[in-house]
Structure 1
Amino acid sequence: MPEPHADLLVRLLRGTLGDSVLGVYLHGSATLGGLRPHSDLDIPAVVRDPTTHPQRRCLVQELLKVSGPPGSRMRPVELIVVAQGDVRPWRYPPTCEFLYGEWLRADYERGVTPGPEPMPDLAPLLMVLGADARLYGPPPADLIDPVPQEDLRRAVVAGVPQLLSELDRDTRDVLLTLAQVWTTLATGAIRSKDAAADWALQRLPTEHRPVLAHARAVHLGEEAEDWTELWPGVRSCADFLVRGVEDQAP
Structure 2
Amino acid sequence: MKERIQDIIGDNFVGFYLHGSLAMGGFNPKHSDIDVLVVTDKPIRLAEKRNLAQFFLDYSFSPYPIEISFLSKKQLMDWQHPCPFEFHYSEHWRERYENDLFQGTYQYFNEVIQTDPDLAAHITITNYRGICIEGKPIDKVFPKVPLDDYLSSIMGDYLECIENIAEDPIYCSLNMLRVLWFLDEGVISSKQEAGDWGQRNLPMKLRNTVKKAAENYADGKDSWSFEKFELLLLRDYIAGKVQELLKNENPLT
TM-score by length of 2: 0.78
1:81 aligns to 2:70 (yes or no): yes
Per-residue deviation, residues 72-120 of structure 1 (Å, max 9, x unmatched): x711111111121112143333223322222443444444737642323
Q: Which residue of 1 aligns with 2:21?
A: 29
Q: What is the alpha-carbon distance in structure 2 between the residues aligned to residue 155 and residue 245 of structure 1? A: 15
Output aligned runs, 1:75-224, within 5 Å: 75-111=64-100, 113=108, 116-130=113-127, 131=129, 133-164=131-162, 167=165, 170-206=168-204, 208-221=206-219, 224=221
- Gapped runs of 5+ residues in structure 1? 1-8
Seq. identity, %: 25
Q: What is the alpha-carbon distance in structure 2 between the residues aligned to residue 170 and residue 61 of structure 1? A: 31
**Alignment partner of 2:226 out of 230, 233, 249:** 230
Q: Which has the larger radius of gyration?
A: 2
Q: What is the alpha-carbon distance in structure 1 between the residues aligned to residue 206 and residue 96 of structure 2? A: 34
Query: 1:57 touches 1:113 (CA, 8 Å); kept in 2?
Result: no
How many residue pairs end up in the alignment?
A: 236
Distance change >3 Å, CA 133–CA 244, structure 1 → 2: same
More deviation in 159-168 or 38-47?
159-168
More deviation in 232-241 or 170-179?
232-241
More deviation in 80-89 or 113-122?
113-122
More deviation in 88-97 or 19-28?
88-97
Q: Which residue of 2 aligns with 1:17?
A: 9
1:57 aligns to 2:50 (yes or no): yes
Q: What is the alpha-carbon distance in structure 2 between the residues aligned to residue 89 and residue 179 of structure 1? A: 32
CA RMSD of aligned residues (A): 2.9
Q: What is the alpha-carbon distance in structure 1 between the residues aligned to residue 69 and residue 163 of structure 2? A: 22
Report the AA paired with residue 87 of structure 1: L
Shift of 1:34: 4.4
Q: What is the alpha-carbon distance in structure 2 between the residues aligned to residue 230 and residue 26 of structure 1? A: 33
Query: 1:39 touches 1:219 (CA, 8 Å); kept in 2?
Result: no
Query: 2:66 touches 2:89 (CA, 8 Å); kept in 1?
Result: yes
Shift of 1:151: 3.0
Distance change >3 Å, CA 58–CA 175, structure 1 → 2: farther
Query: 1:210 touches 1:230 (CA, 8 Å); kept in 2?
Result: no
1:43 aligns to 2:39 (yes or no): no
Residue 51 of structure 2: SS of its match in structure 1? helix
Residue 69 of structure 2: SS of its match in structure 1? strand
Residue 67 of structure 2: SS of its match in structure 1? strand
Distance change >3 Å, CA 164–CA 65, structure 1 → 2: farther
- Gapped runs of 5+ residues in structure 2? 101-106, 248-253
